[in-house]
Chain A
């Protein structure tokens, strides 16, 4: 069964770049869609974007100018970069598999705080 695990810094300074990695185990990263979703503390879920292992991407229009996603198939990892962060980007960030129209499985999530 496929399992996902997020990793990366838990604290990022304002105006800097947030970088997270998701490691896929128990399955292949190739041939599948992968996504990032975030949840500000005490709030709801927000889709950040998805990418296909071959490189095609689709990002939330509200974040599109600051988001990029990439994949390293040799390491079974995919990554998220979010530039010019502010306190509003403080959230738990989840990686998830994207299958046609639903998200499954999900990683356990990692809290990223934007603060100086």
Chain B
């Protein structure tokens, strides 16, 4: 099964909002409310930012929000800060056979 589709890169200025999309199929993103998002700074391990489409773990700023419509999930970062510059990966449950599938990753640049 192919990876979920994310834009290779997005950018925004400090204080602005950006949205990263994650497109799958009815067998993964569209079929379950089990989408998670991870932030990865260079040389570091990924960090959970959103789970179950829109839930935020404790400690994650409320500037980060998640949503889903049909086969596409989205991560929105409002009030961009320099430290938000990182790679972002989406992940979805994809049924009992494939189980889990990641997106290809999106590089966020804060201008």
A-to-B contact residues, CB < 8 Å: 44-47, 50, 58, 60-61, 94, 100-109
Pairs A-B, 6 closest by C-beta atoms:
A101-B34, A102-B51, A102-B36, A104-B48, A106-B45, A47-B100
In the complex where A44-B89, A44-B104, A44-B105 touch, is A101 in contact with B52 (Cβ < 8 A)? yes
Q: Mark B74-111, 1 if CB is under 8 A from A, else 0.
A: 00000000000000010101000111111111000000
Q: What is the minimal beta-carbon distance from A6 to any residue of chain B, in angstroms? A: 10
**Given A50-B99, A106-B45, 15 new contacts (CB under 8 A):** A44-B89, A44-B102, A44-B103, A44-B104, A46-B102, A58-B99, A60-B98, A60-B100, A101-B36, A102-B36, A102-B91, A103-B46, A103-B91, A106-B47, A106-B48
B-to-A contact residues, CB < 8 Å: 3, 32, 34, 36, 38, 44-48, 51-52, 57, 89, 91, 93, 97-105
